[in-house]
């Protein structure tokens, strides 16, 4: 490799070691200095469970977080492709707009909460309230999800390759859930529906995006029964 190629490669990469720099310094660079820098890839070393790593990114860049992340990793992401080589705490990819966040390990509560777009991939399990109030995001979970996942989910798709806990899809709106494993219980106004050819195609595309080898025909569809859309005076407050 000639010297010009080596120089080009090194100037397109940057490393932040959070044992030496703060998360504030990292995020300030991402918000204010990344644009126009020519940098296409950032390695974040020694995250050690720090909160709010790579939040509010508004540029196309690949970010590898080499370890465990804390709360709100990749929150409000736009355009960036973020990979966490470990587990994450609460609210990973919270309110994400576009781009992608991949968690190589497990995710704590409220993963992908209020996400408007983009793709969140969790290779392990996700805890309670995965996809709560999702508004257009695609979430693919390689393992199980906890109770109240997709609670009040308004739009988007949640693919669960393992089992789902209690009250799946409680108060669901127009989001669709696909589950390969067992469902402990469905929440209010959620119902299982027949899978169509379009559903199989959608699941196949999302599994391919995530890199998971499962058969789309093994999944069940859960969607809203739409009985909560309008107040019913005769329902005696029972729904």
Residues 37 and 84 in one domain: yes
Q: Are residues 160 and 84 in the same domain?
A: no
Q: Which residues of 158-176 are buried (b: 16+ CB within 10 A; e: fewer)?
A: bbbbbbbbebbbbbbbebb
Do 150 and 239 fall within a single domain?
A: yes
Q: Mind listing the pLDDT tens digit for each residue in 52-104?
A: 999 999 999 999 999 999 999 999 999 999 999 999 999 999 999 999 999 99
- Model pLDDT, residue 227: 85
Whether 63 is in a domain gets the answer yes
* Residue 53 located in a structural domain: yes
Same domain, 174 and 74: no
Pair 222, 176: CB distance under 8 Å: yes
Print the domain residue range for 60: 13-108
Average pLDDT for residues 117-133, to the nearest whole number? 98
- Rounded CA separation 21/52 (Å): 14
Q: Does one domain contain both 91 and 138?
A: no
pLDDT, one tens digit per residue, over 20-64 is: 999 999 999 999 999 999 999 999 999 999 999 999 999 999 999
Average pLDDT (3-26) is 78
Q: Mean pLDDT, the chain, as a whole number?
A: 94
Please indicate, yes or no, whether residues 150 and 102 belong to a single structural domain of this protein. no
Q: What is the pLDDT of residues 174-203, one digit of tens each?
A: 999 999 999 999 999 999 999 999 999 999
- Pair (177, 226) in one structural domain: yes
Tell me: do 104 and 142 sit in the same domain.
no
Q: Please check whether residue 5 lies inside any domain of the structure.
A: no
Q: Number of C-alpha atoms within 13 angstroms, CB side, residue 97? A: 11
What is the biggest distance separating any 2 CA atoms in the chain, rounded to whole angstroms?
A: 78
């Amino acid at each position: 490799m000639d010297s010009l190629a080596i120089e080009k490669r090194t100037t397109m990469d940057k490393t932040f070691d959070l044992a030496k720099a703060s998360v504030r310094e990292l995020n300030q660079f991402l918000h204010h200095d990344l644009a126009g820098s020519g940098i296409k890839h950032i390695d974040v070393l020694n995250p050690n469970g720090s909160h709010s790593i790579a939040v509010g990114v508004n540029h196309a860049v690949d970010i590898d977080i080499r370890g465990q992340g804390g709360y709100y990793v990749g929150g409000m992401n736009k355009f960036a492709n973020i990979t966490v080589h470990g587990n994450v705490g609460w609210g990973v990819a919270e309110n994400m707009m576009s781009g992608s966040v991949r968690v190589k390990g497990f995710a704590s509560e409220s993963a992908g909460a209020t996400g408007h777009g983009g793709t969140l991939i969790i290779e392990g399990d996700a805890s309670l309230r995965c996809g709560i109030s999702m508004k257009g995001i695609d979430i693919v979970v390689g393992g199980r999800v906890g109770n109240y996942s997709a609670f009040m989910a308004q739009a988007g798709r949640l693919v669960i390759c393992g089992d789902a806990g209690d009250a799946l899809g409680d108060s669901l709106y127009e989001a669709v859930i696909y589950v390969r494993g067992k469902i402990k219980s469905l929440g209010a106004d959620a119902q299982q529906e027949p899978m169509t050819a379009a559903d199989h195609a959608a699941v196949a595309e999302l599994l391919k995006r995530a890199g998971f080898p499962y058969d789309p025909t093994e999944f069940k569809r859960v969607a809203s029964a739409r009985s909560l859309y309008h107040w019913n005076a005769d329902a005696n407050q029972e729904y």
